Structure 1
Amino acid sequence: MQKAKTLEPRNPNKSTGIFNGQSSGILNWNDIAYPHWHKMYKRLLGNYWQADEINMSNDIKQFASLSQSEQDAYLKIIGLLATLDAPQTRTALLLSLYATDPSVQSIMAVIAQQEAVHNESYSYVLSSIVSLDQQNKAFEFGRTDEILLKRNKNIAKYYNDFVENPTTENILKTLTYTTLLEGLFFYSGFAYFYNLARYNKMVGTSTMISYINRDELEHGRFISELFRATLSENPELNNEELIEWVYEQFKESVELEIEWSEYVLADIEGIELEEMHGYIKYRANKMLRLIGLEEIYPEYVENPMKWIRAYADNIDGTKTDFFEQKSRQYVKVNAIDNGFDDL
């Protein structure tokens, strides 16, 4: 597969294909192959935010009062989220290099920017509450913790396979793992911070997670549509072998996510592990539906963690839901002091 040309006036403005198509490189949003993607682009732009707008002053005071298990989980989960978000900026940009539809290039550019903001936000919250040594240790988890390395092994494999061998099939596999990442892998971590917020703990961090969650819901929606559209444009790849591969990745990912949740959430008050396992399976079902496949856990078609609805899991309502939480106040602060003046 060749990278898309930046400008080729002999080709039509309206792309003839998402990948391996022809396009001049000129983007007219009023004449694109998938018109509703303009609305997705606008929704993504509407999610603009910056990490240092979130007031961390109460979190600074509260972190030391968390139990040792809560502090350990906090740092490990921030390390996990950073490990997941860090490659997303580059992956979105790499996909855009091969996209011959300029609307996809533009949407991926916005997604890449938002993923960069997510990664910076983890540095921001850690710089607010722990020493530089502890910050660095948290960011080391992604490449030193055995459970985390095992959990992320397949992400690294299929993302790197696409880099080394850019084919349409490898793009579909990368999109599969991006769907898993955006729609499943984050959620045990998100649940931890939302559970703290239920007890009015670390609300600043939880508010930031709500912003990230809102973005990831939109990313997951677009990536799943991109998967389906790419598969539709390449019917020779819409075969039993690939579909079975997708199901196997979902099953293995669920097992690894359950193992991770047991490792990091075992001693956290307020989170029932069996309920968490059900929630992970529910999320897998949801993402399978989004990419046009059947559910694999029929007993988990409904969300078993009812309390989390106020914080997450509503693609269309998250933006308003989290603003309505009385325990989480969105207060912009000075970028220099992280809210220290409020101490």
Structure 2
Amino acid sequence: MSEVMLSKAKTLEPRNPNKSTGLFGGKSSGILNWNDIAYPHWYKIYKRLIGNYWQADEVNMAGDVKQFSTLSEAEKEAYLKIIGLLSTLDGPQTRTALLISLYATDPSVQSIMAVIAQQEAVHNESYSYVLASVVSLDEQNESFQLGRKDPVLLKRNENLVNQYNSFVEKPTMDNILKTLAYTALLEGMFFYSGFAFFYNLARHNKMVGTSTMISYINRDELEHGRFIAELFRATLAENPEHNTEEFVEWVYDHFKQSVELETEWSNYVLGNVEGIDLEEMEGYIKYRANKMLRMMGLEELYPEHVENPMKWIRAYVDNFDGTKTDFFEQKSRQYTKTSDLNGFDDL
């Protein structure tokens, strides 16, 4: 198949219809009427995203400041390395979300990706905020250098880096679809062993401020993952010539590689942390991969991991389809275990 380079969407083209004729490579005036968009239910996703507004410095870190020095050496090391990991993912994700929006010819996608980009910027700010609360500037800088220097982390991120940069250098439909697949992995699986570490601390009444911050980030990422999976499916449906056995095998192959690399990373960073079962963590990573594949319209790779093996995690993230506590009205959180019936299924 010949590779056609896509052009960036024009800002305004009044001769084109308001409702886009295609998500990428289509025609649109650039005028957004939420009551007349190609995928009407995406307005609800937009509303949920903007409803998740929060700011990093509104989270009280006073308890964490006192507690950090009491953590075990393994917990301190994992804390700093995982913050380093998260920063290497969320920082570039701000730019990737904006880049996707530049090539999107559907104005509703542009608006949703703009919100996602802004939230990723807040996430990255939050990692600077939590580190500034508990360690010196030198230690903060060292943590943020991990994405450039740590060999295990570099290996873990290599495929993601290559695909994101390929999209920058060659903006084809194939690279947009592959970048969406990796974005789904990032939003729906790559973060989660790191999130689990902070929730494990919180269930032992450690670093609850950091865990609260992570829960807000987690809630955002769940929405991002949901939208990216839908955007992937819709883009593939609009471009059926790309829905080939070869492309689907590419997706499965990169999901498998990502699961292996994420498992290797979690063993490396969590191996000595009390309360973390590495076999259970591997099952959780595979469960998350299955979850994202289903959301993307594909079959599961790990049929033995269709249930969440770490159900206790559900207690630490708001169910964003339910009632949301006003962030500025009530900042404290109660960490109580949920039942299988009322737990949040997407974790």
TM-score over 0.5 (shorter chain): yes
- 1:7 is matched with 12
Shift of 1:317: 5.2
Counterpart AA for 1:245: W
Please list the CA deviations of residues 91-129 of structure 1 after superposition, one character each: whole Å capped at 9, or x if unmatched: 010010100000000000000000000000000000001
Structure 1 residues 44 and 248: alpha-carbon distance in aligned structure 2, compared to 1, 3 A threshold: same
Matching residue's letter, 1:218: E
How is 1:185-334 mapped onto 2 (pairs within 5 angstroms)?
A: 185-312=190-317, 316=321, 325-327=333-335
AA in 2 matched with 1:226: L
Q: Secondary structure at the match of 1:326?
A: coil
2:30 is matched by which residue type in structure 1? Answer: G
2: distance between equivalents of 1:220 and 1:238? Answer: 21
* Residue aligning to 2:182: 177
| 1:310 shift after superposition | 1.1
Is 1:214–1:319's contact at 8 Å kept on the other side of the alignment?
no
Q: Distance in 1 between matches of 2:281 and 2:323?
A: 20
CA contact (8 A) 2:236 2:243 kept: yes
Match of 2:40 in 1: 35
Aligned to 2:73: 68
Picking from 100, 104, 111, the partner of 2:109 is 104
Structure 2 residue 144 is matched with structure 1 residue 139: yes
Contact in 1 for aligned 2:215/2:317 (Cα 8 Å): yes
CA RMSD of aligned residues (A): 1.6
Question: In structure 2, do the counterparts of structure 1 residues 282 and 324 end up closer, same or farther at CA, with 3 Å as the change threshold?
Answer: farther
Q: Does 1:59 align with 2:56?
A: no
Inter-CA distance 253–129: structure 2 relative to 1 (3 Å threshold): same
In structure 2, what residue type is equivalent to 1:37?
Answer: W
Aligned length: 327
Return the offset for 1:312: 4.3
CA distance in 1 between counterparts of 2:93 and 2:323 reads 22
Distance 2:218 2:335 in 1: 18
What is the deviation of 1:316? 3.4
Closer/same/farther in 2, CA of residues 236 and 287 from structure 1, 3 Å limit = same
AA aligned to 2:261 is: L
Describe the SS at the equivalent of 1:32. coil
Match of 2:341 in 1: none
Higher relative contact order (CA 8 A, sep 6+): 1
Which structure 1 residue ranges, 5 or more long, are not aligned?
A: 329-343
Q: Quick check: 1:92 aligned with 2:97?
A: yes
Q: Which runs of 5+ in 2 are unaligned?
A: 1-5, 337-347
Deviations 1:124-174 (A, max 9, x none): 000001000000000000110000000000110000000000001100000
Q: Given that residues 97 and 114 in structure 2 are in contact (C-alpha distance below 8 angstroms), is that contact kept between their aligned partners in structure 1?
A: yes
Contact 1:312 1:318 in 2 (8 A): no
Secondary structure (helix, strand or coil) at the match of 2:53 reads: coil
Task: State the identity %.
Answer: 78
Task: Deviation per CA, 1:208-263: give whole Å up to 9, x if none.
Answer: 00000000000000000000000000000001010000000000000000000000
**Which of 87, 106, 120 is 1:115 aligned to?**
120
Matching residue of 2:157: 152
- Counterpart secondary structure, 1:294: coil
Q: Secondary structure at the match of 2:251?
A: helix
